[in-house]
Structure 1
Amino acid sequence: MNHLIEARNVSLNYGKKTALRDVSITVPKGRVVGLLGHNGAGKTSLMKALVGLQPVQGDLRVLGMAPSTQRQQLLTDLSYIPDVAVLPRWACVHELITLMGRLQPKFSAERARALLKRTSVQESDKIKRLSKGMVAQTHLALIAAVDARLMILDEPTLGLDVISRKGFYEMLIDEWCDGERSVLISTHQVEEVEALLSDVIMLDEGRVALAISLEDIDRRFVALNHDPAAAEAMAAAHPLLRYRDQGRTTSLFDGTPPEHVTSLGERVRPSLVDLFMALTRNPALNQKQA
């Protein structure tokens, strides 16, 4: 199975509100994919559909299965941490390890204990006495101890400080990603995860604005850093976005601009944040401007 996720013309409606519009994406094995979008863009709806919590229109296959009708079978090979994920505050960590062993046939208690040794969490600790960062690392240790092929994370580090977020992602990449498994991560901390990603999917008002590997970003998009004197010529070439970078203006193009324009600037690598700003619209900002 080359593609762990295959979606073709997938749509999802909540009454009169459309959450996903004709979404078509694929996620191959061995990839770390960032799912980006403003609030309300459809990220959580897509993730819920992938794990069988929301039926959709269109063709959706996850690990070769239909999530809404084969959910029980699917969840033996898929791990999921939702955006409102919580661990029971009354429980001790060792009790959660025991519980996971009873609920998930592919869970390894030995593996979970080994992962917890990377943290400052003790098996005797009660969840209610742990910091947010320690709870997040405990949750990841439990989920990563499942011998799954796909992990779906919806804002897994929301509300954590920088050090806790760094520790979470280091554990994820070092201990779970092995070239065969894939991870789909929804996050607003684009700058922090960019170095971890192999691919990105951007959603804009329920539609796919961009689905591409980071390697192909460098080939497809051209960012030119230029002096103010070249601003008029750059604007005439219709860039996707113009922004300030290190005291100079950068113009971002989809494809190679005309040669006479290219010669006016120095090519720099566009960041995911730059592309995100260029290709998506911020609903909150649009409301303020209305």
Structure 2
Amino acid sequence: MNHNSQDALVEVRNFSLRYGRKTALDDVSFDIPKGRVVGLLGHNGAGKTSLMKALVGLQSGQGALRVLGMNPQADRVALLDQVSYIPDVAVLPRWARVHELVTLMSGLQPRFSAERARTLIRRTSVELGDKVKALSKGMVTQLHLALVASIDTRLMILDEPTLGLDVLSRKAFYEMLIDEWCDGERSVLISTHQVEEIEQLLSDVLMLDQGRLVLNLSLADVEQRYVALAHAPELADAVAAAHPLLRYRIHGRSAALFDGAPPQHLAQLGERLRPSLVDLFVALTRKPEQAPHGA
């Protein structure tokens, strides 16, 4: 995402974060301009949560961070007024009724619109008179998003927002996020390891592998840079000799993923496919159990 940093809501430069001897983030740099939906992808333990906590001033590290022009640690109170942050699971007081939460938020958060919250809650299966403890996990997550999306901020940071939800609840969550919050000026950073779910929502992707940023591209650039090629089984040796990033099967066919154009002779023999983010994720990141000892 090499955009003009004048319109960047987030600027991260050579940022590293360590817990004792463990490196959680290793020299990470990127920008998030306005009007983007950015996926932060990585296996569990890749550094996603550490990065998000650093962006809202909950973790300190080495390097430079600017969020909405502010230093997240020094300007934390002012920053949290302008950034919506939802850590992994929806934590709402179980004793409260939904309309009480709307009233509570109005008192706590000057940028909150109770009218907008009631409008968004009407889009869900939640009723204003419901008690939180009577709601399913999916309904609580929908309610949480409705409340947060009613705060007029410029940046929303979501850490594994749909963990533990069924497919329909996840779909409803993301539809509401895109329809009701993304307006071309605001940006969203969503961390997940459920890559297939959000590929069609994203404008940009950041991929972390063991604390290092291994991909930082718009989805349009991903399609230009990476080439997937379906090929006949008898070409397997020739394909392997061209050192693809990944060899895999798709719809029962052999395929290979290349960074850049594959060799001309192979390109003519195979069929070019659109690489999926899932295939790229597999190619560029190692599962924690495959990591070398001590990593």
TM-score (norm 2): 0.96
2:106 corresponds to which letter in structure 1?
G
- Distance (whole Å) between structure 1 residues aligned to residue 43 and residue 238 of structure 2: 32
Q: Tell me which residue corresponds to 1:218.
A: 223
- Work out the number of aligned pairs and report it: 288
Q: Aligned partners of 1:268 and 1:64: how far apart in 2?
A: 41
**Structure 1 counterpart of 2:156, from 148, 151, 163:** 151
Match of 2:137 in 1: 132
Distance 1:237 1:152 in 2: 40
- Trace 1:157-176 onto structure 2 (pairs within 5 A): 157-176=162-181
Number of the residue aligned with 1:49 = 54
Tell whether the 8 Å contact from 2:89 to 2:163 is kept in structure 1 after alignment.
no
1:179 aligns with 2:180: no
Residues 205, 215 of structure 2: 8 Å contact kept: yes
Q: Select which of 39, 43, 52 maps to 1:38.
A: 43
List alignment gaps of at least 5 residues for structure 1: none
SS in 2 for 1:263: helix
Give secondary structure in 1 for the equivalent of 2:165.
coil
Tell which deviates more after alignment, 194-203 or 98-107: 98-107
% identity of equivalent residues: 72
Could you tell me which amino acid in structure 2 is paired with residue 280 of structure 1? T
**SS at structure 1 position matched to 2:239:** helix
1:9 paired residue number: 14
Q: Deviations over 1:33-86 (max 9, x none)?
A: 111101110000000001111112100001111101101101111101001431
Counting only pairs closer than 5 Å after superposition, residues 78-117 of structure 1 correspond to structure 2 as: 78-117=83-122
The SS at the match of 2:200 is helix
For the residues of structure 1 that align with 2:285 and 2:79, how far apart are their CA atoms? 32
Equivalent AA in structure 2 for residue 216 of structure 1? D
Q: Which amino acid aligns with 2:8?
A: H
Match of 1:18 among 3, 15, 23: 23
Deviations, residues 136-167 of structure 1 (Å, cap 9, x unaligned) = 00000000000000000001010000110111
**One of 235, 253, 257 as aligned partner of 1:230:** 235
1:201 paired with 2:210, answer: no
Q: Give the match for residue 59 of structure 1.
A: 64
* Whole-angstrom CA distance in 1 between matches of 2:69 and 2:274: 36
* 2:256 matches 1:246: no
SS of the residue corresponding to residue 281 of structure 2 reads helix
Over residues 174-231 of structure 1, what are the superposed CA-to-partner deviations in whole Å (9 max), with x where a residue is unaligned? 0000011000001122111100001000000001010100000111001100011111
Shift of 1:125: 0.8
The reply to whether residue 123 of structure 1 matches residue 128 of structure 2 is yes
RMSD: 1.1
Letter in 1 for 2:137: K
AA in 2 matched with 1:4: L
Equivalent residue, structure 1, for 2:3: none
SS in 2 for 1:113: helix
Query: Which 4+ stretches in 1 moved above 3 angstroms?
Result: 285-288
Structure 1 residue 287: deviation in Å?
A: 6.8
For structure 2, the 5+ residue unaligned runs are 1-5
